[in-house]
Amino acid sequence: MKKIQIFDSTLRDGAQARGINYSLADKLNVLKLLDSFGIDYIEAGNPASNPKEREFFERAADIKLSHSKLVAFGSTRRKDSSAEEDAGVQALLSAGTKTVSIFGKAWDLHVTDVLNTTLDENLSMIFDTIEFFKSKGIEVIFDAEHFFDGYKANPEYAFKVLETAQKAKADYLVLCDTNGGTMVCQMREAVRKCASSFTTPLGIHAHNDSELAVANSLIAVEEGAVQVQGTLIGFGERCGNARLSSIIPNLELKMGYKCLPEGKMNELYETCRQLAEFTNLVFDETLAYVGQNAFSHKGGMHIDGLKKAEGSFEHINPDLVGNRREFLLSEVAGRSAMASKLESEYPEVAKDKQKVSELMNKLKDLENEGVSFEGAESSFKIFIMKELGMHKPQFKLIHFKVFDEPSHHNTFGAYAVVKVDVNGQSRMAAADGNGPVNALDKALREALGIFYPELTKVVLTDYKVRVLETSHATGAKVRVIIESSDGKDSWRTVGVSTDVIEASLYALIDSIDYKLLENEVH
Amino acid sequence: MKKIQIFDSTLRDGAQARGINYSLADKLNVLKLLDSFGIDYIEAGNPASNPKEREFFERAADIKLSHSKLVAFGSTRRKDSSAEEDAGVQALLSAGTKTVSIFGKAWDLHVTDVLNTTLDENLSMIFDTIEFFKSKGIEVIFDAEHFFDGYKANPEYAFKVLETAQKAKADYLVLCDTNGGTMVCQMREAVRKCASSFTTPLGIHAHNDSELAVANSLIAVEEGAVQVQGTLIGFGERCGNARLSSIIPNLELKMGYKCLPEGKMNELYETCRQLAEFTNLVFDETLAYVGQNAFSHKGGMHIDGLKKAEGSFEHINPDLVGNRREFLLSEVAGRSAMASKLESEYPEVAKDKQKVSELMNKLKDLENEGVSFEGAESSFKIFIMKELGMHKPQFKLIHFKVFDEPSHHNTFGAYAVVKVDVNGQSRMAAADGNGPVNALDKALREALGIFYPELTKVVLTDYKVRVLETSHATGAKVRVIIESSDGKDSWRTVGVSTDVIEASLYALIDSIDYKLLENEVH
């Protein structure tokens, strides 16, 4: 099977999407996630653009990637300069990556009207910049920006751009449909022409402005492209980039190409979910392959058909991508998922079909209320222990009350009062904070610290809030996920309520509970 | 220009989508909306399936459509029966439409394993049913269900099905990719074969399970199909049907076909919005052509490029489909974004370079504190008015206090007390809610409603929370964005604080402020 290189730009082009704003920690998490999934190239931002990008590359250098190549992104040198002296080129070099992607203009209109330079100078800018990085032993992926628009407007010049990049020994020539306006027939014709004209391997970089990014990427591969650029779940400027979560299974399960390392395809669903968590955007459940609706069946005829003939109303077996079938009007399968979750800690329970079914039903009830243990494994563990009657709580919260008002010299601002019970001993505590949840967190630790001094080492390292049903606005349910750490281990817990403070409290209680349970075991 | 028939199934296949549940009034509204937009065929449900469908056709008969043909949907007769005696066929006839769509099985597996009948009997079922409706003078659109799967599994039989429908004088043979698994190359080859084998006009009905429904529909048209079936904004079982809001502009603006009556293309955006309103699903703003993000630009280079050369970063002029260009303000955007934002409302300020720079610096300061006006244009407007000394607040919040404790029979749960001042008159109010923010929202409206009755019409339609620096966990800053609506317009505002309640409060105050300012102006 022919191998297609997968190039993900969630951290670079994906950051251009409306509503996306990565923290440094998010970016590092995405890097590790995509590496462990087996993406070939992971493109991050432009080190010249801001200090946050520079810091990312410094921190990323300490991470040992198991599969992926990290790519820094930048432009060709400025006009009337040299590559050596160009600040942007130097910034790109300073990222210290073994691969860079460099974009240059392939549409004459952009050269003359946006860059305000000559067509010849643009070719020199491309040549010099690529040559500079190649002379440093760095792999260069050349992005021919607006290639398809350029090919329409001035095909001769668009080809000259590719020839120049080839002459400068670029490792890949990537054909970019930057505006996303290219129709499938134009795509096929242009890529075919390029494949017969250049010996350098071709890549495709498509945008979704005509809802054709996936199709255009597949067509480019059929015509000879060996690298597909996109973003895993389609984030990107305007309508987004080509969605790799659709392209990868289409290529690998339908068209006979190889994209991922062996055994990774069935991690697709889970990987996409985790990526969405980092970005805190609502997941589109109608997405091909990875949406929760992708294999859910509502029509009675379809459900009946599926029961009579497996595959009669599904284009693939959902297990192949780690998704699952769902009948919206009937009982849910997915027992095997639960069993496999149980296997490591409670192998005897995993074998008990009756028990697994009971747990599944209970989990379904919770899911209907909006609780999800995705990304909150410690709460899942506590849930299982409670259901199996193996959970001995180390404390009980008897009451809490939270107050919040503007903080002046004569008010408390945000503050909380709690009362806990530990083995029959009750204790009250109060604390203020820079918000009600922070106050509650401090008050809880204050109350429990005398019984469990190990809690003083615990800090909260992440806090995420997600609104579940936006249609109800401030009356909607929210899901809070917190990550805690004792300096050695970290763990994540979840809480759900219509009340953001209560949701946070549930997650805090699970976090403390988990820490104390772990201490008891070890 | 060659005319392509547009066939919308929002009312039939669209109803199979998860989360969709039309009332009778919704269905009638959709019918009128699609008719006035100029859709050629509007398919509604199966009159045999339930009384609501039957009632719909009775009511629809009283509506005079200006352009569209209404289509009732049903299956071929049951096995071992006659069309005349078949209850389903009679129900379909009773709908009283001049056009029906009839689906029959084109995949041998379905005939033998789902219908449990012989391949020959299936052909008779198809022939008899079509012939029956044709004998009544009714136009028949024949949907060859699973045509592409059938063509892969047993091409000879799949063709026999189409031949049978043609012999029975069906008006259209519609090739259905029911499972949505067909790749673009298979699509092209199969439709080409059909176009050269049958004289009856062809249609295409694609599903989006491989994210190829739009591309496959366009390819079918290129190969000779003259009817495209889909749903306007893509609703449908699993991953949805082919999205007509992408297909229509692709065909008409890019590929030289005609789909809509003259002058209707620029109603596309508004029509899609209205359709989404009827269904109460969240609109996907990344949709091609009709999403709010489709022509919104965040990257500084893109914004700069667009100002230098119109069309340099857009595949079409957004006016063509009734959408509009938008520049998002963010750290990557620059001064040109600010200037263009100012242009429409404050043209004289936009020209004042000194003033624009001052505003930019102030904006940078706010962004460093975590405020971002991306997706909160109304707060941006208030910010500008404040900075230009043009903001006259309509009320003042003197004090608030929020309380939160578990809700028992003898506690309030979450509740809020506020005191406001309106033109020197002060007023207190209190309210409880299912969370502290909901309580605060209700208390504020309660206090202000006596002065500004127009606020009673305002509801919050979306609420988003984003933690800004996760490293500080519960002590981190949060950004809250709320969307408000008065049933006619909607607007979005932002608030930032370490305290999620305070952040929500700021966004609420901006929202009310904005509504009152708009009222004053108009």
In this structure, are residues A202 and A175 in contact, taking their beta carbons and an 8 Å threshold? yes
pLDDT for residue B325 is more than 90: no
Q: Cβ distance A230 to A250 under 8 Å?
A: no
Q: Long-range pairs for B220-224 at CB < 8 Å and ≥24 separation?
A: B220/B175, B220/B187, B220/B191, B221/B4, B221/B251, B221/B255, B221/B257, B222/A185, B222/B188, B222/B255, B223/B188, B223/B191, B223/B192, B223/B195, B224/B191, B224/B192, B224/B194, B224/B195
Contact between A405 and A411 (Cβ < 8 Å) = yes
pLDDT at A496 over 70: yes
Pair B69, B134 in one domain: yes
The verdict on residue A267 lying in a domain is yes
DSSP letters for B413-479 = -EEEEEEEEETTEEEEEEEEESSHHHHHHHHHHHHHHTT-GGGGG-EEEEEEEEES-GGGGGGS-EE
Q: Tell me if B414 and A304 make a contact (CB, 8 A cut-off).
A: no
Instruction: Tell me what the mean pLDDT of segment B280-292 comes to.
Output: 85
How confident is the model over B61-81, as a mean pLDDT?
Answer: 95
Beta strands in A375-486 (DSSP E): 396-404, 414-422, 425-433, 459-467, 478-485
Where is average pLDDT lowest: A59-73, A94-108, A213-227, B429-443? B429-443
Question: How many CB atoms lie under 10 A from the CB of residue B136?
Answer: 9
**A–B interface: beta-carbon pairs under 8 A:** 334
Q: Are strands A414-422 and A396-404 parallel, antiparallel or unpaired?
A: antiparallel
Percent of chain A with pLDDT over 70: 92
Please name the amino acid found at residue B104.
G
For B381-414, letters b (16+ CB in 10 Å) and e give bbbbbeeeeeeeebbebeebbbbbbeeeeeebbb
pLDDT band at B471 (very low <50, low <70, confident <90, very high): very low
Query: Using CA atoms, how far apart are residues A341 and B392, in angstroms rounded to an integer?
Result: 59
Q: What are the angstrom distances between the C-alpha of A364 and each of A372, A373, A377?
A: 10, 11, 16
Task: Name chain B contacts of A478, Cβ cutoff 8 Å.
Answer: 435, 465
With CB atoms and an 8 Å threshold, state whether A404 touches B297. no
Asked if A327 and A296 sit in the same domain, the reply is yes
**Distance to chain A for B64, nearest Cα, Å:** 31
Please give the pLDDT value at position B41: 98
Question: Is B210–A250 a contact, with Cβ atoms under 8 angstroms apart?
Answer: yes
Output the pLDDT for position B488: 77
Dist. CA B126–CA B121, nearest whole Å: 9
Higher pLDDT, A390 or A232: A232
Read off the pLDDT of each residue in A324-329 and give the average, rounded to a whole number.
65
- A72-86, A127-141, B404-418 — which is least confidently predicted? B404-418
Which of A308, A482, A497 minimises the CB distance to B473?
A482
Who among B282, B328, B474 is closest to A437 (CB)?
Answer: B474
* CA–CA gap between residue B214 and residue B250 (Å, rounded): 9
Q: Which of A279, A309, A332 is the last residue of a domain?
A: A279
B41/chain A closest Cα distance in angstroms: 22
What is the structure's pLDDT at A300?
A: 59
Residues B95 and B244 in one domain: yes
Query: What's the CATH number where A511 sits?
Result: 3.30.160.270
Query: Could you read off the pLDDT of B492-502 as tens digits, one per residue?
Result: 899 998 889 99
The last residue of one of the domains, among A245, A279, A313, is A279
CA atoms of B498 and B104, how far apart (whole Å): 61
Residue A272: which domain range? Answer: 5-279
For residue A436, the chain B residues in CB contact (below 8 A) are 402, 404, 436, 499-501
Do A63 and A193 fall within a single domain? yes
Which of A221-230, B122-131, B318-327 comes out lowest in average pLDDT?
B318-327
Instruction: Name the residue facing A246 among B210, B462, B504 (closest C-beta).
Output: B210
Q: Residue A261 region, left (φ>0) first, then alpha (ψ -120 to 50), else beta? A: beta
With b for 16 or more beta-carbon neighbours within 10 A and e for fewer, the A156-174 pattern comes to: ebbbbbbbbbbebebbbbb
Q: What is the pLDDT of residues B158-179, one digit of tens each?
A: 999 999 999 999 999 999 999 9
One-letter amino acid for residue A100 of the chain:
V
Mean pLDDT computed over A425-454: 92
Give the pLDDT confidence of A336-360 residue by residue, as tens digits: 556 666 777 788 887 888 888 888 7
Q: Report the chain A residue with the minimal C-alpha distance to residue B471.
A: A461
Give the least confident one: A74-83, B67-76, B322-331: B322-331
Indicate whether B275 and B321 sit together in one domain.
Answer: no
Mean pLDDT (chain A, rounded): 89
**Residue A193 and residue B6: Cα distance in Å, rounded?**
34
The pLDDT of residue B317: 93
The rounded distance, in Å, linking the Cα atoms of A418 and A511 is 17
Amino acid at A159: F
Taking an 8 Å cut-off on Cβ atoms, the answer to whether B400 and A405 are in contact is: yes
Asked whether the beta carbons of residue A498 and residue B254 sit closer than 8 angstroms, the reply is no
From the list A267, A279, A149, A276, the residue with the least C-alpha distance to A206 is A149
Domain for residue B385, yes or no?
A: no
How many angstroms separate the Cα of B46 from the Cα of each of A60, A326, B97, B145, B311?
Answer: 58, 24, 12, 16, 46
Instruction: Select from B229, B245, B279 the last residue of a domain.
Output: B279
**Residue A310 pLDDT > 80, yes or no?**
no
If pLDDT is split at 50, 70 and 90, which confidence band does B74 have? very high
Looking at residue B264, its pLDDT comes to 97
A522 to chain B, closest Cα gap in Å:
27
Shared-domain flag, residues B345 and B470 = no
Based on the fold, state whether residues B301 and B429 are members of the same structural domain.
no
**Which site among B272, B499, B508, B509 would you substitute to test the A interface, given the most A Cβ atoms closer than 10 Å to its Cβ?**
B499
Statement to judge: residues A178 and A261 lie in one domain: yes
Encoding tokens for residue B315? 């595949």
pLDDT band (50, 70, 90) for residue B472:
low
Query: From the centroid of its chain, how far is CA A153?
Result: 36
Return the DSSP state at B404. E
CB within 8 Å: B478 and A464: no
Whether residue A446 is contained in a domain is answered as yes
Query: How many domains, in total, are found in chain B?
Result: 3
Q: Looking only at Cα atoms, what is the longest distance across chain B?
A: 86
Q: Say whether both B364 and B420 belong to one domain.
A: no
Mean pLDDT of the A188-198 span: 98
> What is the C-alpha separation between B500 and A338, in angstroms, rounded?
35
Residue A375 lies in a domain: no
Please tell me which of the candidates B297, B315, B435 has its beta carbon nearest to residue A500.
B435
Contacts of A498 in chain B (CB under 8 A): 434-435, 438
Answer yes or no: is B382 within a domain: no
Helix (H) or strand (E) holding A326: strand A326-327
Please tell me the least confidently modeled range out of A156-170, A424-438, B30-44, B464-478. B464-478
Q: Please answer yes or no on whether B470 and A461 come within 8 Å at the CB atom.
A: yes
Higher per-residue pLDDT: A388 or A464: A388
The residue in chain A having the minimum alpha-carbon distance to the alpha carbon of residue B303 is A114
Judge whether B73 lies within some domain.
Answer: yes
Residues B219 and B363 in one domain: no
CATH number at residue B58: 3.20.20.70
Q: Mean per-residue pLDDT for B254-273?
A: 96
A208 contact residues in B (CB cutoff 8 A): 286, 288
pLDDT band at B342 (very low <50, low <70, confident <90, very high): confident
Residue B384 lies in a domain: no
With respect to residue B379, please indicate whether it lies within any of the assigned structural domains.
no
Closest alpha carbon to B395 in B455, B338, B340, B335 = B455
Residues of A in contact with B109 (CB under 8 A): 309, 312
Percent of chain A with pLDDT over 90: 62
| Alpha-carbon gap, residue B522 to A38, rounded angstroms | 57
| Nearest-CB residue to B404 (from A23, A209, A402) | A402
> Are residues B192 and B322 both part of a single domain?
no
What is the C-alpha separation between B347 and A89, in angstroms, rounded? Answer: 38
| Amino acid found at B154 | N
Contacts of A500 in chain B (CB under 8 A): 435-437, 465, 500
Per-residue pLDDT tens for B415-425? 999 999 999 99
Q: Is the dihedral of CA B422, B428, B434, B435 positive or negative?
A: positive
Test A238 with B295 for CB contact under 8 angstroms. Answer: yes
B124 Cβ contact list (under 8 Å, min separation 6): none
- pLDDT number for residue B330: 59
Answer yes or no: do A260 and A300 share one domain.
no
Residue A289: CB atoms within 10 Å? 29
Is A239–B287 a contact, with Cβ atoms under 8 angstroms apart?
A: yes
What's the whole-number average pLDDT of chain B?
Answer: 89
Give residue B521's pLDDT: 61
Alpha helices (H) in A136-183, listed in sequence order: 147-153, 155-167
Judged by CB atoms closer than 8 Å, whether chains meet at A499 and B414 is answered as: yes
A232-291 residue pLDDT tens: 999 999 999 999 999 999 999 999 999 999 999 999 999 998 898 777 676 788 999 999
Mean pLDDT of B471-475: 56
Are B219 and A471 within 8 A, CB to CB? no
Q: What share of chain B has pLDDT > 70, as a percent? A: 94
Exposure letters A200-226 (e unless 16+ CB within 10 A, then b): bbbbbbbbbbbbbbbbbbbbbbbbebb
pLDDT of residue A472: 54
Q: Is the confidence at residue B280, as pLDDT, over 90?
A: no
pLDDT at residue B339 in the model: 75
Nearest residue, CB atoms, A403 vs list B17, B372, B401: B401
Q: Give the strand order in the sheet containing B459-467.
A: B459-467, B478-485, B490-497
Angle (CA) A340 A341 A345, round 5°: 105
Q: Give residue B238's Cα distance to chain centre.
A: 16
Q: Kindly report the nearest CA distance between residue B411 and chain A, in angstroms.
A: 10
Whether residues B436 and A499 touch (CB distance < 8 A) is answered with yes
Classified as helix, coil or strand, B484 is strand
